Amino acid sequence: DTEVTQTPKHLVMGMTNKKSLKCEQHMGHRAMYWYKQKAKKPPELMFVYSYEKLSINESVPSRFSPECPNSSLLNLHLHALQPEDSALYLCASSQGPVAYEQYFGPGTRLTVT
Amino acid sequence: AQTVTQSQPEMSVQEAETVTLSCTYDTSESDYYLFWYKQPPSRQMILVIRQEAYKQQNATENRFSVNFQKAAKSFSLKISDSQLGDAAMYFCAYRVADMRFGAGTRLTVKP
């Protein structure tokens, strides 16, 4: 099973809202990632969790807050977003933090109004 | 810094024919991994094929194969017997630690 699940599939939120994106994998992977993807562009890395510890923060604004409650779950908490934050948010996991291929979830399409 | 370059923004192929997508990368590492990912309009990124840099043999997965030229830092993807379902955005990626993606090539398959 190489499945990564993400909820919700679509999310529309106002600039004052607080919402969360969720990601889950049951492959025993020890690294999980959040990416942001704009239309017709490659994914941009936002956060990396390695063995449930945040290891890379690619200078992402503080209105994005990641959380890794356990080795299977990854959340992305959203607060006071801007319209330019509208994008596809992809979660991925890999067996380890280096070298291995990453498996992606279907993504959450976020629209900020 | 490692960079990945896909010089073909768009490619088109006739159904049942063969197409090759190009990818070059820049690195000073000797051990690394290369991948091709496919992203259909349904948007999920799907791993197509992987290649370990220390392996001289080119990876193959059914109709998909790569031509890995380590000295030239080239990693092209060949799709044989193209099918309508192959239509997608294809991303080349390089990894030692974090994954680096190319800009992508949009492949259209004509019936």
Please give the share of chain A, as a percent, with pLDDT higher than 90: 84
Residue A96 has a pLDDT of: 87
pLDDT above 90: residue A69: yes
Residue among A88, A83, A67, A85 nearest A20 (CA): A67
| β-strand partners of A89 | A36, A108
Record the tokens describing residue A7, joined without a space.
């909820």
pLDDT above 70: residue B18: yes
Contact B101 A43 (CB under 8 A): yes
pLDDT band at B96 (very low <50, low <70, confident <90, very high): confident
pLDDT above 80: residue A1: no
pLDDT in tens, B54-84: 998 999 999 999 999 999 999 999 999 999 9
Contact list, A56 vs chain B (CB under 8 Å): 98
pLDDT above 80: residue B36: yes
For residue A49, what are the contacts with CB-CB under 8 A and spacing of at least 6? A31, A32, A33, A55, A66, A68, A74
With tokens 């996991």, the residue in question is: A93
HEC assignment per residue over chain A: CCCEEEECCEEEECCCCEEEEEEEECCCCCEEEEEEECCCCCCEEEEEEECCEEEEECCCCCCEEEEEEECCEEEEEEECCCHHHCEEEEEEEECCCCCCCCEECCCEEEEEC
For residue B14, what are the contacts with CB-CB under 8 A and spacing of at least 6? B82, B109, B110
Please give the share of chain A, as a percent, with pLDDT higher than 70: 98
Contact call for residues A95 and B33 (beta carbons, < 8 A):
no
Q: Is the dihedral of CA A49, A54, A57, A61 positive or negative?
A: positive
Contact B99 A102 (CB under 8 A): yes
With tokens 């509208």, the residue in question is: A86
pLDDT in tens, A49-64: 999 999 878 789 999 9
Among B42, B45, B98, select the one facing A48 at the smallest CB separation: B98
Among A88, A92, A102, select the one facing B43 at the smallest CB separation: A88
Q: Is the peptide bond prior to A97 cis by the omega test (within 30 degrees of 0)?
A: no
**To the nearest whole number, what is the mean pLDDT of chain B?**
95
pLDDT above 80: residue B12: yes
Q: Is A48 on the interface with B (CB under 8 A)?
A: yes
Contact list, A100 vs chain B (CB under 8 Å): 33, 95
Contacts A–B by Cβ distance under 8 A: 50
pLDDT above 70: residue A66: yes
pLDDT above 70: residue B1: no
Chain A, 58-87: which have a CB under 8 Å from a chain B CB? none
Contact list, B98 vs chain A (CB under 8 Å): 45, 48, 56
Residue A13 has a pLDDT of: 93
Contact call for residues A73 and A23 (beta carbons, < 8 A):
yes
Read off the amino acid at residue B77: L
Contact list, A103 vs chain B (CB under 8 Å): 47
Q: What whole-number distance in Å separates Cα of residue A101 and Cα of residue B8?
A: 24
